[in-house]
């Protein structure tokens, strides 16, 4: 996210300027984390264990944050598989938001405007998304 958010804690031994930015706490680059997640998704049959239903949010974020066009179909297929196997209906809304997001991101590339963010789309549509 492009928003600069300070950590919610302040201790007396640190001044606000000495608190590290959140980005300094992340050791794996975004594109590598997304690649690893989607590689694992491809290697596991999503109908083996009900615990895989917990992958709804990571799949949504992978789809929203990936810049790789080929990831889109895998994310949509995986969300559909979770809905089919476990009856997770909120995957339908997640796929709707991803399709809107991708259309806007593609348009932003064409006209060189600011990249759309999934949270902005939720706010604009006045939708709530529960992906637990």
pLDDT band at 19; cut points 50, 70, 90: low
**Band of pLDDT at residue 6, cut at 50, 70 and 90:** very low
Tell me the average pLDDT across 17-22. Answer: 65
0.85 exceeded by the pTM? Answer: no
Letter string b/e over residues 9-24, b meaning 16 or more CB atoms within 10 A of that residue's CB = eeeeeeeeeeeeeeee
Amino acid 10: pLDDT: 46
Considering only CA atoms, which of 44, 126, 69 is closest in space to residue 93?
A: 126
Model confidence at 120, pLDDT cuts 50, 70, 90, reads very high
pLDDT tens per residue across span 74-119: 999 999 999 998 888 888 999 999 999 999 999 988 888 888 899 9
Q: Is the pLDDT of residue 60 over 60?
A: yes
């Amino acid at each position: 996210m492009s928003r600069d958010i300070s950590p919610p804690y302040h201790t007396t031994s640190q001044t606000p300027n000495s608190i590290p930015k959140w980005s300094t706490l992340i050791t794996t680059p975004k594109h590598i984390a997304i690649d690893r997640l989607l590689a694992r998704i491809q290697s596991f049959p999503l109908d083996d264990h009900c615990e895989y239903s917990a992958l709804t949010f990571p799949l949504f974020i992978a789809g929203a944050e990936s810049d790789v066009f080929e990831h889109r179909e895998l994310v949509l297929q995986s969300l559909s598989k979770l809905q089919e196997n476990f009856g997770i209906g909120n995957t339908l809304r997640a796929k709707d938001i991803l399709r809107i997001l991708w259309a806007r991101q593609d348009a932003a590339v064409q006209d060189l405007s600011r990249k759309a963010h999934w949270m902005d789309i939720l706010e604009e549509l006045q939708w709530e998304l529960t992906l637990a």
